[in-house]
Amino acid sequence: MNYPISDRIKSMSESATLAMAAKARELKSQGIDIISLSLGEPDFKTPKHIQDAAKDAIDSEKYFAYPPVSGYQDLREAIANKLEKENGIPSSPDQIVVSNGAKQSIANLMLSLLNPGDEVIVFAPFWVSYTELVKLAGATPVYVTGTLENDFKPTAEQLKDAITDNTKAVLYSSPCNPTGSVFSKEELEKLAMVLRQYDNIVVMSDEIYEHINFGKEGHISMASLPGMAERTITINGFSKGFAMTGWRVGYISAPLPIAKAATKIQGQITSGNASISQRAALAALTGDLQPTLDMTKTYHKRRDMVLGLLKEMPGVVTNVPTGAFYIFPDISSFFGKSDGETKVTNADELAIYILKKANVSVVTGGAFGAPNCIRISYAASDDELKEAMKRMKKVLAELK
């Protein structure tokens, strides 16, 4: 049978993070003791008051019908209120679209905004799905790459140089997946000075890690800066800060025409986000934030611990990430080296080497637009992290 798989699917890359996680699960099923540091998934349980809100919603029997495509009114009101009070972003409920995770939010935007021939400037290193979703919409990603010396953050000058007549959008995350880097207000102001010169370019600011921020300045939203609200789409969700990955709730706050376009796309593809998940999300926004603050403190301690252990590994070069739960070391010093059986020539091969030799799952930096790096998630227990670093140190030392 010759199945008619589309060219767009044939040309699309599989998510590297999910692919590595699948390999780790396969090895685990064979009884191998794999420590997985590949997925961006909190290892905490969803806070109890959020779970209880979902149970109450089920017991009330009021939320069994199809929800509105863009989300329940009270949830959208709560999101708009949060953005106003916490982020300084002017927003109203009709500018909010609740989706099945931030990934769907981004896909909605790509399909709503882009045409073949359009360009999207993507700050690199980038989350693996950004570029594939740009290409799915028929547009072209244009990479602006930050250096490790600058905490992987591109500069305003680089942004200005990358803009062409075909540029329709700029996409980035802060705190960043995969680097953990956070743009300061001063750095965002410099980017905004460039972007305010263009009335045909929108900014897509992915802020899903906003609560996992270790810096003194805290989280700064691009849309809060003067003249940027009307040209910025803020992307956020509940997966990371509230340990709600499986609940699948993300959202955007966008200028009204864009919010309407995203709602139109969503109405044809999935309709509204699961009703019970929305009730849980409302509880997350309006309830006690202390569990989130406690999680962030734990992540901060883990970051420091893992950084310290990585510094004990000759050839591993890191910066100090100030958000999210990733470390993104440069491991290019190992390229061309061998343990006598296996020769490593790139980050892809090093990630596989670490998986097979150390039974530790990490992700190649090539998938994030940084072929000299690997991504290590420290969303794991202290004991797992210590053991994983011990194993990695041992097998990396064997590469000569």
Specify the CATH number for the domain of residue 76: 3.40.640.10
CA–CA separation, 177 vs 325, rounded Å?
Answer: 8
133: CB partners within 8 A, 6+ apart: 106, 107, 110
Asked, for residue 263, whether it belongs to a domain, the answer is: yes
233-271: pLDDT as tens digits: 999 999 999 999 999 999 999 999 999 999 999 999 999
Residues 25 and 134 in one domain: no
- Domain boundary (251, 286, 321) is at 286
Give the residue-averaged pLDDT of 377-388.
96
With a CB cutoff of 8 Å and minimum separation 6, the contacts of 331 are 315, 316, 317, 347, 350, 372, 373, 374
Q: What is the pTM of this model?
A: 0.94
* Per-residue confidence (pLDDT) for residue 12, from 0 to 100: 77
* Angstrom distance (rounded) from CA 306 to CA 360: 14
Higher pLDDT, 3 or 259: 259
Q: What is the pLDDT of residue 231?
A: 97
Confirm whether 182 is domain-assigned.
yes
Please indicate, yes or no, whether residues 87 and 130 belong to a single structural domain of this protein: yes
pLDDT of residue 3: 86
99 and 221 assigned to the same domain: yes
Other CB atoms within 10 Å distance of the CB of residue 167? 17
Domain boundary among 286, 308, 342: 286
pLDDT one-digit tens code per residue, 97-135: 999 999 999 999 999 999 999 999 999 999 999 999 999
Residue 249, SS3? Answer: coil
Q: Do residues 127 and 151 touch, judged by C-beta distance below 8 A?
A: no
List of E strands, the chain = 35-36, 96-99, 119-124, 140-145, 167-173, 202-206, 232-237, 250-253, 326-327, 337-338, 343-344, 360-361, 363-364, 374-377
247 shares a domain with 377: no
Same domain, residue pair 230 and 337: no
Q: Residues 39, 73: one domain?
A: no
**Cα 258 → chain centroid:** 21
**Contact partners, residue 114, CB within 8 Å, separation at least 6:** 120, 134, 137, 138, 139, 168, 169
2 located within any domain: no
Q: Residue 295: give its domain's CATH number.
A: 3.90.1150.10
Output the six-digit token pair for 8. Answer: 């767009």
* Residue 222 sits in the same domain as residue 362: no
Q: Which H or E run includes 262?
A: helix 256-269
Same domain, residue pair 357 and 211: no
Domain membership of residue 59 (yes or no) is no
Q: For position 16, what pLDDT does the model report?
A: 65
Secondary structure element (H or E) that encloses residue 74, with its range: helix 73-82
pLDDT of residue 28 exceeding 80, the answer is no
Q: Is residue 74 part of a domain?
A: yes
Do residues 316 and 381 share a domain? yes
Higher pLDDT, 61 or 139: 139
**CA–CA separation, 205 vs 232, rounded Å?**
7
Strands 232-237 and 202-206, bridge-based pairing:
parallel
Q: For position 146, what pLDDT does the model report? A: 97
pLDDT for residue 214:
97
Residue 119's domain spans which residues? 65-286
What tens digit of pLDDT does each residue of 359-377 get? 999 999 999 999 999 999 9
Q: Sorting pLDDT into bands at 50, 70 and 90, what band is 188?
A: very high
In the chain, the number of structural domains is: 2
Residue 55 lies in a domain: no
**pLDDT band at residue 227 using 50, 70 and 90 as cut-offs:** very high
Q: What gap in Å lies between CA 78 and CA 268, rounded to an integer?
A: 25
247 and 373 in one domain? no
Q: Whats the size of the chain, residue-wise?
A: 400
Give domain status of residue 97, yes or no.
yes
Same domain, 136 and 166: yes
Q: Residues 365, 17: contact at Cβ < 8 Å?
A: no
Considering the chain, what is the average pLDDT of its residues?
95
pLDDT in tens, 32-66: 788 999 888 899 999 999 999 999 999 998 999 99
- Of the three residues 252, 286, 320, the one that is the final residue of a domain is 286
Which residue did the predictor score with more confidence, 240 or 18? Answer: 240
Residues 125 and 139 in one domain: yes
Q: What is the pLDDT of residue 26?
A: 76
Q: Is residue 60 part of a domain?
A: no
